[in-house]
Structure 1
């Protein structure tokens, strides 16, 4: 028997938002871990707003703002305007952020302005570190064996914005003409002579068989036990950026270990097999588990290191780092960022890796109980 196509809405409901979220929903565990990290940031949030004594309308609670930023990455929401629109009618979003059914949703420009305050106070970096601290408490990190790699990030700037820095050089060019005297076809462009008008921090770069694009370069250091990202940063794209960023990140990891007698290892692909980089690792008392590059040259990685069982294990574990990059580009916003400037891109990248860690930690919490 066909049911009637009718719609009847009750005047009142006695159910809470929490009642609409399934008990086994994956966001529940993520929200708990995110709230634990945010609770540790209370003093930072207080310092951010204590100087604001002019009164007026209350600003967005930073905890709610951070949870909204997590949702934007988790659900691949492409803009703040779309995020606010979905929050208006999506009960799951309201529950996760901490908004009641009748709470008004923020204006997108207000949301963006408050987010800049978080960036100015490095709140995203602190949140990332608190997530890592949670993983450490649950014994999901080895703290001694790491892998490093980098990935290209397409900038929010087009080739037409990449113009000569010489005075008056491109003043009479038509930016819509790509082939004639107003375009760049048949001309030589380089980072020494040209710069992007849209994003001056970006660099024209190519790697391998890829085409030259305006790009940044993201770098991560992962712990080999479960592939969690323990350090992340963005630099300008050039041929030395990966190794230079790796030195900084593994130095921080080595300092965190403290005990010089504890062996710290670093796995990486063949692109890191350079004598200068291997020597830098050895000075930091880090064993180089770098893939040997013997294509027409001699590898800088000692053969006695490459023959060890730990080296073979690091070579298998280092491939976990690619999962983070894949997730950040397929689910997250890193394939082509929608922000400009090195600082903003760096903050977005770090936040994305923090969310990636939360997703992995949610799974680890289900299949690997906390060690006693």
Structure 2
């Protein structure tokens, strides 16, 4: 008998997220290590929040979500929250229920300085490396330092002279007007992006196109290719 291609919404949900994730999924082992580390940082998290007021979104869930953003190369918190809205694997890893709404993307903007700009991110990485299951994989013999260009989410049209001389004419069709850059020299010393001022103009080599980028630096352990330290410039 041919099944009907007609779907209806369910009033109640009986989905067990734990059962939906395969036992051999690599994220399972990662989540176990991460949860042990986050449990050890509970005191650090408690010191960051006031004992009064409304309960916040748990910082443990925010950090797990940020790990997913890194693992799956998701370009923004908006897209991360869109993915978390419909992806059961993301919900399971972050620790939110199947019926819980995804957070607003601005939650990350408000908590970034609190969780990442301080010592929490460094302590989190150090605690992961100190875990027995991770530590036994580390070798002290050989390390490699490498860097990569991380393209900023900003258009080259946003690059303007820092002295303000590159503003478009008042009746020229708005901010996104067509601009002929041919023959113009743009340097980081004299130009900056108006949408992402911290991004810099880089290119991978001679003859390659110039893009707005950041530079990611990683210290890698060679035996198993583990990242042991990182910074962004």
* CA gap 1:144/1:110 in 2 versus in 1, 3 angstroms: same
TM-score by length of 1: 0.53
Tell me the distance in 2 between the aligned counterparts of 1:96 and 1:171: 46
Tell me the distance in 1 between the aligned counterparts of 2:8 and 2:196: 53
Structure 2: gaps of 5 or more residues: none
Aligned to 2:219: 221
Aligned to 2:231: 233
* CA gap 1:199/1:17 in 2 versus in 1, 3 angstroms: closer
Counterpart pick for 1:119 among 116, 121, 141: 116
Tell me the distance in 2 between the aligned counterparts of 1:73 and 1:223: 19
Q: String of CA shifts for 1:113-154, please: whole Å, max 9, x gaps.
A: 234431233433322222222268541111232111221222
- Tell me the secondary structure at the aligned position of residue 131 of structure 2: helix
Q: How does 1:77-226 map to 2 (within 5 A)?
A: 77-134=74-131, 138-166=135-163, 168-171=164-167, 176-179=177-180, 184-209=181-206, 210-226=208-224
Alpha-carbon deviation of 1:35?
Answer: 1.0
- Tell me the secondary structure at the aligned position of residue 43 of structure 1: helix
Alpha-carbon deviation of 1:44?
Answer: 1.6
- 2:160–2:167 Cα contact (<8 Å) kept: no
Q: How does 1:1-372 map to 2 (within 5 A)?
A: 2-5=1-4, 16-49=16-49, 52-55=50-53, 57-134=54-131, 138-166=135-163, 168-171=164-167, 176-179=177-180, 184-209=181-206, 210-235=208-233
* CA gap 1:207/1:93 in 2 versus in 1, 3 angstroms: closer
Tell me the distance in 2 between the aligned counterparts of 1:18 and 1:107: 24
CA RMSD of aligned residues (A): 2.9
- Tell me the secondary structure at the aligned position of residue 186 of structure 1: coil
* CA gap 1:207/1:108 in 2 versus in 1, 3 angstroms: closer
Number of aligned residues: 226
- Tell me the secondary structure at the aligned position of residue 143 of structure 2: strand
* CA gap 1:214/1:171 in 2 versus in 1, 3 angstroms: same
Structure holding more helix per residue? 1
Larger radius of gyration: 1
- Tell me the secondary structure at the aligned position of residue 35 of structure 2: helix
* CA gap 1:159/1:79 in 2 versus in 1, 3 angstroms: closer
Alpha-carbon deviation of 1:96?
Answer: 1.7
Q: String of CA shifts for 1:201-244, please: whole Å, max 9, x gaps.
A: 22223342322222222211111221111111122xxxxxxxxx
Alpha-carbon deviation of 1:14?
Answer: 6.5
